[in-house]
Amino acid sequence: MAGNAAFKRVKLHVKPFIHGLLKSQRIVVSLNGDVVYQERLSTGRGVENPIVIDLPTEPALDKYTLEFNFPDATSPKDVGYNEDKRKLGFYFQRIVFE
């Protein structure tokens, strides 16, 4: 960013992997080690309704650590979708820092 302007928020455009009996998934977002957002989603959070995380405004912070946890992640094979054994949680369409 130009000058000393800092980012104020991050917007997450995500979509959960859901199929069959798996109707929703939980997403937990931590910022610098603290949980700042958690929700169970059954549909995507797109441009009109993103997940919005406010960022700290302390002048000493010049770096952020975002961590994502998907407690309900499962494989497409486990839900009868296909033979893919990878654990899937969420698809990140876009991450925007403002």
| pLDDT at residue 4 greater than cutoff 50 | no
What's the rounded Cα separation, in Å, for the pair 80 and 31? Answer: 34
| pLDDT at residue 16 greater than cutoff 90 | yes
| pLDDT at residue 1 greater than cutoff 80 | no
pLDDT at 3: 44
What's the rounded Cα separation, in Å, for the pair 97 and 34? Answer: 19
Structure confidence by residue, pLDDT tens digits, 24-61: 999 999 998 999 999 999 999 988 999 999 988 775 66
pTM score: 0.86
pLDDT at 57: 77
pLDDT at 17: 96
List, in sequence order, every residue forming a beta bridge with 67; answer none if it has no partner. Answer: 30
User: How far apart, in Å, are the Cα atoms of 27 and each of 13, 24, 66, 74, 98?
Assistant: 12, 10, 13, 13, 21
